[in-house]
Structure 1
């Protein structure tokens, strides 16, 4: 996992490589889309669609994990396995991409170019960017950074550290299933039920580990830990509230709160509600905290490896 983090930190996933072969997550996405199209039939009753969704989730995760397990066995053991599994795990760790996407919001926001910041933030959040003012854009970017640090970096590394290549690949299959079909819309309310539940379980420990890293490595660790304990459980997600609350307390800003999705107001509770709204410079501060959290994560891996 340290090898995977190092490669992604230096290279990311180059555009030329994506143009040539795509990305393993897009391969998983095509499989999930095909199952959604063929197994999630509108005329089926809800119970049948839920069962179909359970089988679809188990099939995707099982197939991905089995292929990864076969590859890891074929590689052998020792330093050869460490290096090759690290290379194969590299595409499933998106630490550089996450930094780049949030930095693309921070730059124009600090320069006062709200229109460009809105365009950049629309690439990483689902809420309506046209309704966001400067503080709303900063809030959306920081929330996305906090939540995706868990989903896109810490969680895959956590499961990879436990189970090697099968762990990280199976987790990414779970996370991709949730992002594609784990929605409470009319089409996926039943078919995506299993995908959403499995993703919740897979992120229980990583989300809280991410929150602790953020809190302890922030400039305000006591406030961050206090905000986690007080506000995280009020978030609509059983997992995302933890890293978001830690960052809110660590930066001394309020996050979450009411927002508009697809023209509908979602009256979400505030995290660290007594604090001020985030400013453009707070997005840059969040990115610096993100880097410290990654260094802390790498340090934990070193300790685990030595133990």
Structure 2
């Protein structure tokens, strides 16, 4: 019960407060990982695997210690779970970025929108027009709704604080070193593969919740089943395809990430996104987040019943 309540309180805190402005624990983890990379980096999978194992293992172990220290103190356990949930979620910050991008695009401030896109993804925005920026924003909102909201909530519901901290550590490392660049192709391999595994089920749960939250489950699932495999990511594909079906849009295409190009196929059969679709996508992402918080609480209560049996 304390886990379920902590997850709901932490989700509410994220919706109201967003990320801490200063001394964010995830940012601190990222700085630690960057310093460790300076000493540990080698162009090999074994070095990257060791690097990922130490950092993710340490975060998960810290969560296990916290769970054991508070498991007989329900009030404290609720507060600790709420704090961990608030720390690892990024739904409100994602929502703010969507609002900011929507405002810039509506004001036709394309240079500022190009600069701001880097807050959502690593896509090269130098030559993107307004509708291209809208597509990039919609796709990033879809993918990050799974990564920054649905997945951590579901891992928290299943495993508690260790699930929350371990997932966020793995996802952060993937964002730092999981790129298919010359530098990280080998060193970041373990972080990228671990993130793929940890998101395998949550991404598909997010796809289902997206269709339900939009009131178009058949359309979302149909596009997911038909088009997701065209996407190079095994987890972003189902989520972006589900958003395309839920919003009746056509996503995907060729994207530039500086030193490499990526073809994401064609997801959906509707029109390509326009500026107005950014706010529609953000509204849908908020509803998906609420649904995921409910599912996470149910997972936590289910685990409690199994423990009692």
State the TM-score, normalizing by the size of structure 2.
0.90
CA contact (8 A) 2:154 2:299 kept: no
Q: From 259, 275, 280, give the equivalent of 1:285.
A: 280
The answer to whether 1:31 aligns with 2:37 is no
Structure 1 stretches of 4+ with a deviation exceeding 6 A read: none
Which residue does the alignment assign to 1:8?
14
**Per-residue displacement from partner, 1:64-93 (whole Å, max 9, x unpaired)?**
111122122223432331222212331101
- Cα root mean square deviation, aligned: 1.8
State the TM-score, normalizing by the size of structure 1.
0.90
Deviation for aligned residue 1:57:
1.1
Spell out the pairing of 1:76-155 with structure 2 (5 A cutoff). 76-77=71-72, 78-155=74-151
Q: From 220, 226, 231, give the equivalent of 1:235.
A: 231
Which fold has the larger relative contact order, with Cα–Cα distance below 8 Å and residues 6 or more apart in sequence? 2
Deviation for aligned residue 1:25:
1.5
Alignment gaps of 5+ in structure 1: 43-48
CA distance in 1, matches of 2:69, 2:214: 42
For structure 1, which segment, 117-126 or 163-172, has the greater mean C-alpha deviation from structure 2 after superposition? 117-126
Number of residue equivalences: 295
CA contact (8 A) 1:68 1:169 kept: yes
Q: 1:185 to 1:263 in 2, by over 3 A?
A: closer
Spell out the pairing of 1:249-260 with structure 2 (5 A cutoff). 249-260=245-256
Spell out the pairing of 1:59-74 with structure 2 (5 A cutoff). 59-74=54-69
For structure 1, which segment, 152-161 or 111-120, has the greater mean C-alpha deviation from structure 2 after superposition? 111-120
Deviation for aligned residue 1:54:
1.2
CA distance in 2, matches of 1:126, 1:59: 26
CA distance in 1, matches of 2:171, 2:296: 22
CA distance in 2, matches of 1:252, 1:87: 37
